[in-house]
Amino acid sequence: MVELPSKSPALIVDIHTHLYPPSYVDLLSSRKTVPYIYKPPDGSDPRLIILPSDDDVSKPPASRGRPIDSSYSSLDVKRAFMTQHNIAISVISLANPWLDFLDPSSAPSIARTINDDLQSSCSNFNRSNSDQKLYAFGTLPLSAPPAAVIAEITRLKSLPNIKGIIMGTTGLGAGLDNPALDPIYSALELTSTLIFLHPHYGLPAASFGGESSLSRTGHVLPLALGFPLETTIAITRAFLAGVFDRYPSLQILLAHSGGTLPFLAGRIQSCVAHEREFTANGGEKPGPVRDIWDVLKKNIYLDAVIYGEPGLKAAVDASSHDRVMFGTDHPFFPPLKDPAGRWESVDTNLKAIEGAIWSERVTRGILGGNAVRVLGLEV
Amino acid sequence: MVELPSKSPALIVDIHTHLYPPSYVDLLSSRKTVPYIYKPPDGSDPRLIILPSDDDVSKPPASRGRPIDSSYSSLDVKRAFMTQHNIAISVISLANPWLDFLDPSSAPSIARTINDDLQSSCSNFNRSNSDQKLYAFGTLPLSAPPAAVIAEITRLKSLPNIKGIIMGTTGLGAGLDNPALDPIYSALELTSTLIFLHPHYGLPAASFGGESSLSRTGHVLPLALGFPLETTIAITRAFLAGVFDRYPSLQILLAHSGGTLPFLAGRIQSCVAHEREFTANGGEKPGPVRDIWDVLKKNIYLDAVIYGEPGLKAAVDASSHDRVMFGTDHPFFPPLKDPAGRWESVDTNLKAIEGAIWSERVTRGILGGNAVRVLGLEV
């Protein structure tokens, strides 16, 4: 019996991993209103307060918001996490809420500072490290006038390790179907800048049965459902408003495997086909021209942060095997029982990718090959 | 070349198809507040007003709510639709909002009248028809005291064509995690009564960017997203509240392939595993004991009303091929261009079932065999 040569391990690229660079930590620490980093007067550990509901002064400091430790900002922590999970390349991004909250006048300079900081973080990391590489998604001063946003989109192309931008689901504040976003979409399309679309705002508490229902279940309802449903609504609003008709080359990477878009795409398309108010059916409202399935195969990329085979396969089926990319959501969802061990949240996603019966080529693409190709990463 | 005998066509059972029996039409016609059937004083066609947002007296009658024609209540229309699409058996159910709105004192007798009406509609249909059969899901007087609800659950077992009950996502009014539902769940479990869980209430308008965003897109956002997201939230709340721990034999058929549950099950389970506030992780809140994947395989059934292969396959992967059942959602989503032709909404679902590469046994199960077995239908 001939022994086959052992296969080389797959290159793993993490395209969903958050980091707050020093300038962003400084920004949040300098603030006293949401979002901000709260340093309790009793000297206990600082807390990250990013949602209005976190900002409850009646609670003891240690139960407001969430602890913010070095895992949010340390490159050494990121490096150790990558080593532990055999991740060769990470594409870091700010965690929510990015710069959505900034005053229009200060937003452009702060965005430049943070993006330069992201670039230098990547450069420093890569210089001191031969086996691992760091890239980043930049951030945009979306509260500033469009010209300033477009200027930063253009400038980002000169930063070699910035491979796209991260954006929340509200865009300029009114959602991704806001016509005021058109010049921004146009600039992103012209510069071939990938948008990494990420949730933050969730759904109104009433959606979950109000505060009593929410309080019984910790963070599960807003995190497990609020986030992906927010993403689904945001991208569907963009689709229905004809964004992909006007910007047919726009490229959007959806967090958490698209929220629920791969699962609901058929229902969305069927409802569009049956909507009497759309001009295609004799009504007076424009409606989208392109088909959502076509958009999924040409404009949408999906991360593989879905924690199960049924969802992962639906993501691959709805977009394509060469548009789905591994991610971890680090530093969120750390292991609770063995903080030094491998992360269950990471292994659940790896198991789904490796458990699905795909060719080795497809598995390798999802683990890292697709990210290298789509983002133009140097291996 | 030997010619193979042609296969017998698969038996098709429609488990998601709505009908308003005469007593329900009378009830809605007798009302002047939502939900009601509005008969315009100018003699134009009556309109079904089921949502507060439909009830806009500033609009001309013909644009309030939706037209309600014989397709909502006629057995002849149902029969013709079944014949046209080769459907052998239909399991009819009231369309939303069922009896949720009734005064507690009148609810029990109205529920009895409507359920008897459903039973006699089925009997009459089946007597006059040798090739097709009708069954029904009953309705419950959920606004009445629990004893009255339980009495009707018990009584329904004496009606031979009633094969379960349809229920909205609010249960007794406060959601499926309301402890007051426990005696109802207990009675449903003891009598092996299947719950067909169906959305109606959607999400707050703010979830979709408010009225301006909604008004640009007709009914697409509430129908395509609001309905399935409502279902997902409702069943997840039940799961997190331990309903399936307390009632491990409860059987629930989820409309629209579970909303998005098959896609999000992994994220839900991961968030539960990482929730510090749950006792399993050292917190003080109970949290669910059983795994959502286990619930999907033992307690949940899914219809196949999902309009696409990626979603259908996820539904089958997450529950199992013998728990997914064809449905049409008739009389909703009729064809707009050729009213007399086959329905595109039906054919989209059939195409997804027949397009997936499954064994013939699996395909036949989803088309009808599973429904016959699960509901105990006579073929």
Q: Give B196's contacts (C-beta < 8 A, 6+ positions apart).
A: B15, B16, B93, B137, B164, B165, B166, B167, B252, B253, B255
**Does B222 contact chain A (CB < 8 Å)?**
no
Average pLDDT over residues A304-326: 98
Closest by alpha carbon to B300, among B316, B311, B289? Answer: B316
Contact criterion met (CB < 8 Å) for A306 and B263? yes
Do B302 and B319 form a contact (C-beta atoms < 8 A)? yes
Closest by alpha carbon to A252, among A231, A227, A226, A224? Answer: A231
Tell me the two tokens of residue B257.
């392939």
Query: A247-256, A290-299, B59-68: lowest mean pLDDT where?
Result: B59-68
pLDDT in tens, B168-203: 999 999 999 999 999 999 999 999 999 999 999 999
Do A14 and A349 form a contact (C-beta atoms < 8 A)? no
Among B181, B216, B235, B264, most A C-beta atoms within 10 A, so best to mutate, is B264
Which pLDDT score is estimated for B1? Answer: 47
Count of Cβ atoms closer than 10 Å to residue A206 Cβ = 13
Residue A333 has φ and ψ, to the nearest 5°, of 60, 50
Closest to A225 (Cβ–Cβ): which among B232, B281, B317? B232
Residue of A nearest to B315 (CA): A310
| DSSP code per residue over B157-195 | TTSTTEEEEEE-TTTTTT-TT-GGGHHHHHHHHHTTPPE
Closest by alpha carbon to B235, among B205, B199, B201? Answer: B199
Contact criterion met (CB < 8 Å) for B265 and A311? yes
Beta bridge partners, B330, equal B17
Which runs of consecutive H residues, i.e. helices, occur in chain A? 22-29, 75-84, 107-127, 146-156, 182-190, 210-216, 220, 227-240, 243-246, 261-273, 292-298, 309-318, 344-355, 360-364, 370-375
CA angle at B92 for the pair B87 and B95, rounded to the nearest 5°: 125
Q: How far apart are CA A326 and CA A313, in angstroms?
A: 13
Contact criterion met (CB < 8 Å) for A237 and B276? no
| End-to-end Cα separation, chain A, in angstroms | 35
By the 10 Å C-beta count (0-12 exposed, 13-18 middle, 19+ buried), A271 is classed as buried
Give CA separation, A156 vs A151, A175, A280, A300, B333, in Å.
9, 23, 40, 21, 47
Tell me the two tokens of residue B45.
């066609």
Residue B63 has φ and ψ, to the nearest 5°, of -120, 10
Percent of chain A's residues with pLDDT above 70: 98
Q: Where are the domains of chain A?
A: 13-374
3-state secondary structure of B356: coil
**Does B247 contact chain A (CB < 8 Å)?**
no
Q: How far apart are CA B300 and CA B261, in angstroms?
A: 10
Closest to B306 (Cβ–Cβ): which among A225, A267, A277? A267
Beta bridge partners, B135, equal B91
| DSSP code per residue over B248-264 | TT--EEESGGGTTHHHH
Average pLDDT over residues B131-147: 97
Q: Is residue A2 pLDDT above 70, yes or no?
A: no
pLDDT in tens, B334-379: 999 898 999 999 999 999 999 998 899 999 999 999 999 999 999 8
**DSSP class of residue A278?**
B
Query: A115-124, A313-322, B41-50: lowest mean pLDDT where?
Result: B41-50
Average pLDDT over residues B152-180: 97
pLDDT in tens, A28-55: 999 999 999 999 888 888 999 998 888 8
Q: How far apart are CA B139 and CA B110, in angstroms?
A: 10
More confident residue, A66 or B237: B237
**Does B281 contact chain A (CB < 8 Å)?**
yes
pLDDT in tens, B278-328: 999 999 999 999 999 999 999 999 999 999 999 999 999 999 999 999 999
How many Cα atoms are found within 13 Å in the side-chain-facing hemisphere of B230?
23
| End-to-end Cα separation, chain B, in angstroms | 35
Contact criterion met (CB < 8 Å) for B348 and A266? yes
Which of chain A's residues have a Cβ under 8 Å away from the Cβ of B271? Answer: 219-220, 223-224
**Does A280 contact chain B (CB < 8 Å)?**
no
**DSSP class of residue B38?**
E
Amino acid at B1: M
Q: How far apart are CA B138 and CA B134, in angstroms?
A: 13
Which pLDDT score is estimated for A70? Answer: 85
Closest by alpha carbon to B267, among B298, B299, B232, B242? Answer: B232
Which of chain A's residues have a Cβ under 8 Å away from the Cβ of B204? Answer: 203-204, 206-207
**Does A209 contact chain B (CB < 8 Å)?**
yes
**DSSP class of residue A358?**
-
pLDDT in tens, B314-338: 999 999 999 999 999 999 999 998 9
Which pLDDT score is estimated for A67? Answer: 84
Mean pLDDT of chain A: 94
Which pLDDT score is estimated for A222? Answer: 96
Residue B285 has φ and ψ, to the nearest 5°, of -100, 145
pLDDT in tens, A199-215: 999 999 999 999 888 98
Give CA separation, B280 vs A282, A336, B289, in Å.
56, 10, 9
Q: Is residue A1 pLDDT above 60, yes or no?
A: no
3-state secondary structure of B48: strand
Residue of A nearest to B176 (CA): A209
Average pLDDT over residues A70-94: 95
Which of chain A's residues have a Cβ under 8 Å away from the Cβ of B263? Answer: 257, 260, 262-263, 306, 310-311, 314
Among B225, B291, B349, most A C-beta atoms within 10 A, so best to mutate, is B225
| DSSP code per residue over A111-154 | HHHHHHHHHHHHHHHHHT-SS-EEEEEE---TTS-HHHHHHHHH
Closest to A268 (Cβ–Cβ): which among B203, B207, B224? B224
Which pLDDT score is estimated for A258? Answer: 98
Helices B309-318 and B344-355 pack at an angle, to 10 degrees, of 60
Any idea how long chain A is?
379
Tell me the two tokens of residue A208.
């979950």
Count of Cβ atoms closer than 10 Å to residue A71 Cβ = 18
Count of Cβ atoms closer than 10 Å to residue A246 Cβ = 14
A–B CB contacts, 8 A cutoff, strictly below: 256
Tell me the two tokens of residue A34.
């949401």
Q: How far apart are CA B16 and CA B377, in angstroms?
A: 15
Closest by alpha carbon to B90, among B277, B330, B316, B336? Answer: B330
Q: Is residue B4 pLDDT above 70, yes or no?
A: no
Do A307 and A47 form a contact (C-beta atoms < 8 A)? no
Contact criterion met (CB < 8 Å) for B272 and A241? no
Q: From 3.30.2270.10, 1.10.510.10, 3.20.20.140, 3.40.50.2000, which CATH number describes the A13-374 domain?
A: 3.20.20.140
Q: How far apart are CA B138 and CA B188, in angstroms?
A: 12
How many Cα atoms are found within 13 Å in the side-chain-facing hemisphere of B378?
11
Tell me the two tokens of residue A58.
């009646």
Do A207 and A233 form a contact (C-beta atoms < 8 A)? no
**Does B229 contact chain A (CB < 8 Å)?**
yes
CATH 3.20.20.140, applies to B16-138: yes
Q: How far apart are CA B208 and CA B54, in angstroms?
A: 17
Contact criterion met (CB < 8 Å) for A217 and B224? no
Contact criterion met (CB < 8 Å) for A266 and B306? yes
| DSSP code per residue over B82-130 | HHHTT--EEEEEPPTTTTTTS-TTTHHHHHHHHHHHHHHHHHHHHHT-S
Q: Is residue A4 pLDDT above 60, yes or no?
A: no
Which of chain A's residues have a Cβ under 8 Å away from the Cβ of B228? Answer: 260, 264, 267
Helices B309-318 and B261-273 pack at an angle, to 10 degrees, of 50
Q: How far is CA B253 from the centre of its chain?
A: 8
pLDDT in tens, B231-259: 999 999 999 999 999 999 999 999 999 99
Contact criterion met (CB < 8 Å) for B218 and A269? no
Which of chain A's residues have a Cβ under 8 Å away from the Cβ of B345? Answer: 270, 274
Q: Is residue B5 pLDDT above 70, yes or no?
A: no
Contact criterion met (CB < 8 Å) for A175 and B262? no
pLDDT in tens, A90-118: 999 999 999 999 999 999 999 999 999 99
Q: Is residue A3 pLDDT above 70, yes or no?
A: no
Q: Is residue A242 pLDDT above 80, yes or no?
A: yes
Which pLDDT score is estimated for A58? Answer: 82
Which pLDDT score is estimated for A5? Answer: 55
Residue A247 has φ and ψ, to the nearest 5°, of -130, 70
Beta bridge partners, B202, equal none
**Does A306 contact chain B (CB < 8 Å)?**
yes
Do A167 and A196 form a contact (C-beta atoms < 8 A)? yes
Contact criterion met (CB < 8 Å) for A266 and B311? yes
Closest by alpha carbon to A226, among A187, A260, A267? Answer: A260
Which of chain B's residues have a Cβ under 8 Å away from the Cβ of A243? Answer: none
pLDDT in tens, B31-89: 999 999 999 888 888 999 998 888 888 888 777 888 888 889 999 999 999 999 999 99
Q: Is residue A236 pLDDT above 90, yes or no?
A: yes
Residue of A nearest to B287 (CA): A217
Contact criterion met (CB < 8 Å) for B218 and A277? yes
Do B132 and B87 form a contact (C-beta atoms < 8 A)? yes
